[in-house]
């Protein structure tokens, strides 16, 4: 496997910024993704933006001492998401069911994306993209969940745009301060 696609590996120094035109294109792609997720257009998100080789990982963030060799998160341990295309498809299938009660009545979503940095990698056609997010979900009258975090994405350059091939999602919460995660990040 290419090192850049290894889900357990962090990006190295992000010191190879792409040209302005590519950065604009990636930024547009990220905003499009956020808009699709806000609108709960999950099937379209999967079909248009996600690469068949996707590895989508959001680990549990443990509180550990700084000198603990395990660190805050560890691939292969507990995670909220550790999905291939097959698992993402199952999740999307649930959203498409009319009896997905946690989504009926509909949740109101806002995916805010910022801190976008787009870098070249050693592999032509793959870009290393860092971004930060604020995810707001509001349901019923006053149920509100806000999650902040960062993402480390690898985008594959394809005809007419990009496909997400690797995503690492790191939230800032230890105890998840929400009853569920009925969204994608």
Partner 1 sequence: MCEGSECKGAAKGRPDMKPVYPKAGSYPEFATLVNRDNAQVDRRVFVDEAVYQAELRQIFARAWLFLAHESQIPNPGDFIRTSMGEDDVIVVRQRDRSVKAFLNSCPHRGNRVCMVDAGTKARGFICNYHGWSFGIDGGLRGTDGKVYEKDEHFEKAQITLTPVAQIDSYKGLIFATFDPDAPSLADFLGPFTFYLDIMLDNDEGGTEFIGGAIKSEIDCNWKFPAENFVGDILHAFWTHQSGAQAILGGGVDLGKRYDELAFQASVYGHGIETNLDKVGNTRTLGYPELVDYTFDLVEKAKDRLGDVRSRAIGAVSSCTVFPNFSFLPGQNTFRVWHPRGPGKIELVVWTLVNKNAPDHIKEMYRKGVMMTFSPGGVFEMDDGENWEYSTRVNQGFVTRQQPLHYALGMGSVDLDRDLPGHIHKGSLNDANQRMFYTRWAEFMQHDNWTDLQNGETAPPEKSVKVAAE
Note the residues at the interface with partner 1 (CB under 8 A). 58, 60, 62-65, 68, 70, 74, 76-83, 87, 90-91, 93-94, 97-102, 139, 143, 174-182
| Alpha helical stretches, state H, 39-96 | 42-49, 85-95
Cβ 165 to partner 1 shortest distance, Å: 19
Q: What is the DSSP letter of 3?
A: G
| Residue with smaller CB distance to partner 1, 11 or 80 | 80
Taking phi over 0 as left and psi of -120 to 50 as alpha, with beta for the rest, 65 belongs to: beta
Q: Strands 161-171 and 50-59: what pairing?
A: parallel
Cβ 69 to partner 1 shortest distance, Å: 8
Cβ 79 to partner 1 shortest distance, Å: 6
Cβ 150 to partner 1 shortest distance, Å: 18
Cβ 84 to partner 1 shortest distance, Å: 9
| Residue with smaller CB distance to partner 1, 122 or 143 | 143
CB of 110 within 8 A of CB of 136?
Answer: yes
Distance (Å, rounded) from C-alpha 87 to C-alpha 136? 24
Distance (Å, rounded) from C-alpha 108 to C-alpha 117? 28
Distance (Å, rounded) from C-alpha 7 to C-alpha 65? 23
Distance (Å, rounded) from C-alpha 22 to C-alpha 127? 10
């Amino acid at each position: 496997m290419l090192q850049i696609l290894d889900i357990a590996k962090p990006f190295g120094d992000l010191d190879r910024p792409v040209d302005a035109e590519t950065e604009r294109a990636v930024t547009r792609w990220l905003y499009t993704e956020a808009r699709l997720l806000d609108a709960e257009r999950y099937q379209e998100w999967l079909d248009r933006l996600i690469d068949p080789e996707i590895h989508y990982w959001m680990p549990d963030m443990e509180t550990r001492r700084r000198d603990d060799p395990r660190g805050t998160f560890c691939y292969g341990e507990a995670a909220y998401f550790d999905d291939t295309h097959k698992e993402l498809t199952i999740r999307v299938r649930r959203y498409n069911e009319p009896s997905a009660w946690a989504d009926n009545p509909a949740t109101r979503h806002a995916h805010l994306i910022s801190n976008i940095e787009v870098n070249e990698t050693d592999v032509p056609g793959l870009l290393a993209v860092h971004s930060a997010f604020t995810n707001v979900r509001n349901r019923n009258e006053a149920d509100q969940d806000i999650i902040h975090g960062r993402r480390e994405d690898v985008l594959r350059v394809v005809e007419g745009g990009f496909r997400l091939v690797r995503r690492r999602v790191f939230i800032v919460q230890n105890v998840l301060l929400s009853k569920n995660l009925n969204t994608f990040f």
